[in-house]
Amino acid sequence: DLSGSITTPDVKLNLGGEFVKESTATTFLRQRGYGWLLEVEDDDPEDNKPLLEELDIDLKDIYYKIRCVLMPMPSLGFNRQVVRDNPDFWGPLAVVLFFSMISLYGQFKVVSWIITIWIFGSLTIFLLARVLGGEVAYGQVLGVIGYSLLPLIVIAPVLLVVGSFEVVSTLIKLFGVFWAAYSAASLLVGEEFKTKKPLLIYPIFLLYIYFLSLYTGV
């Protein structure tokens, strides 16, 4: 007769300098080659990034670009080319959405239309620039056109105050359109266009006139 007993060996793991006794189930799985079921992956540092970093949103960069657009004069010392050479998506989208929200005095149905005009208007400017020999990417045009809506946002509260004075209101509208068009054209219309600059400046000017008409309801 054979008799005896099988005892489970005590297996201890060294975790951070401390010995921890494994349970019977853990030992059973390890002995049969299923220890991989018990493995726990370390947290990936990439998964612990802040939300803004995950979405590639740099608030300081967006704020600097806003200042470059609102103050386009070269004498102020801003490196305005960063708006064109380092394009982003979230900053222009935020500007376009904000302009959409204040347009037509809260009629939210216009939001989708303004975004559509922004996307396809920028596409038209991009195609025209490429035809004229400009070296510019669609993302750059999209960013510049979006950021350059800021002057129209700035004049919006002024129009609410002087709306009853037709002459003053018209002058402010013209000022806002010229401000926006100059800010965009000075970034998109480079020296490579030479004598063809008016062919690109004119549709940019018309695009901002249309944006303004969406705000005023004209």
pLDDT tens, position by position, 182-209: 988 888 887 777 778 888 889 999 999 9
* pLDDT value of position 218: 47
Q: How far is CA 66 from CA 38, 79, 93, 115, 120, in A?
A: 52, 12, 13, 19, 22
Residue whose entry in the numeric block shows the structure tokens 């853990």? 26
What pLDDT is attached to residue 61? 84
Per-residue pLDDT of the chain (218 residues; tens, 9 = 90+): 555 555 545 444 444 544 445 567 667 666 766 565 556 555 555 556 666 666 667 788 888 888 888 888 777 777 778 888 788 888 888 888 888 887 765 566 677 888 888 999 999 999 998 888 878 888 889 999 999 999 998 888 888 888 778 888 889 989 999 999 998 888 888 777 777 888 888 999 999 999 888 876 54
pLDDT at site 112: 80
pLDDT at 21: 53
Distance CA 83, CA 184 (A): 10
pLDDT score for 207:
92
**98 half-sphere exposure, CB direction, 13 A CA radius:** 16
Please provide the size of the chain in residues: 218
Give the residue ranges of DSSP H helices in the chain.
Answer: 24-31, 51-54, 59-70, 81-85, 90-102, 110-131, 138-147, 150-162, 166-188, 197-216
Q: Which amino acid is at 202?
A: Y
- For the record, the structure tokens of 162 come out as 């002087």
Q: How far apart are CA 98 and CA 151, in angstroms?
A: 12
Is residue 39 within 8 A of residue 32, CB to CB? The reply is no
pLDDT given at position 132: 85
On the 0-12 / 13-18 / 19+ scale of CB atoms within 10 A, 55 is exposed
- What local confidence, expressed as pLDDT, does residue 19 receive? 44
Give residue 105's region: left, alpha or beta (phi > 0; psi -120 to 50): left
In angstroms, rounded to a whole number, what is the distance separating the alpha carbons of residues 172 and 162?
A: 9
Which pLDDT belongs to residue 120?
93
Write down the pLDDT at residue 206: 93
